[in-house]
A = this chain, B = another copy of it.
Amino acid sequence: MKLRPASYLILGMVRLGARSGYAIKAAADQSTQFFWPMSLAQVYPELARLQSAGLLRREEDPHGGRERHSYVLTEAGEEALGEWLRSSEGEPTQFRDEGVLRLFFADALMPADQLALLHRLRERAAAVASSTMEEIVPAATALADTGIRCPALVARLRADTNAFVERWLERAEAELREWS
């Protein structure tokens, strides 16, 4: 069976303690979402696939009368995750940004509109940087006390990169303003 990044994402989240499909999705929503989006409709079929491949073990774990399944990594699952983490194959970074696409073609705009576009992109980068710093980084840093440090590392990378882009666009904006 072929494992895709989403498979490893689920394996990884289970390893970090997310037990139900719902919990996996919730955990992904405030962490991995930003560099590997995943919808809830992907989670349940994938869990079934991983279980039938022997990488996850599924146990009934009802909460009152509400059904719930609890997943844990099998040894094979642990090993598959480790192998993927140590490997380096995989598609190169995929990046889809409608804003940057607009910027690429922005020569078709009047200077005032170019400036407005640049400004919007800058504000967006600033918003991502600050919301990451305020919401994601604290949560990830709390985890770091339990020995799980990488989520915080990734959160800071995201925040810092967006802050860099913000400053870069600020300079570009200033140059364009001067220059026209």
Cβ contacts A92-112/B at 8 Å (1 or 0 each): 111111111111111111000
- How many copies of the polypeptide does the oligomer hold? 2
Interface window among A44-52, A59-67, A82-90: A82-90
Q: A96's contact among B37, B107, B113, by CB below 8 Å, is which?
A: B37
A107 to B81, CA, bound (A): 12
Residues of B within 8 A of A108 (CB): 12, 15, 81-82, 85
How many residues of A sit at the interface, in one of the four size bands? 35 or more
Interface presence of A22 (CB below 8 A): no
Q: Is A9 an interface residue (CB 8 A)?
A: yes
* Residue A150 at the chain B interface, CB threshold 8 Å: yes
Interface assignment of A32: CB less than 8 Å from any CB of chain B: yes
Instruction: Contact check, B109 vs A34: say whether CB atoms are below 8 A apart.
Output: no
* B35 and A96 within 8 A (CB): yes
Q: Are A81 and B95 in contact (CB under 8 A)?
A: no
Within 8 A of B (CB), among A148-180: 148-151, 153-154, 157, 160-161, 164-165, 168-169, 172
12 residue pairs A–B, Cβ–Cβ below 8 Å: A5-B98, A8-B105, A32-B104, A35-B100, A35-B104, A85-B117, A90-B99, A94-B96, A103-B153, A104-B151, A107-B147, A164-B164
A8-B105, A85-B105, A95-B97 known, 7 other contacts, Cβ within 8 Å = A12-B101, A35-B104, A85-B106, A93-B98, A94-B96, A107-B151, A157-B168
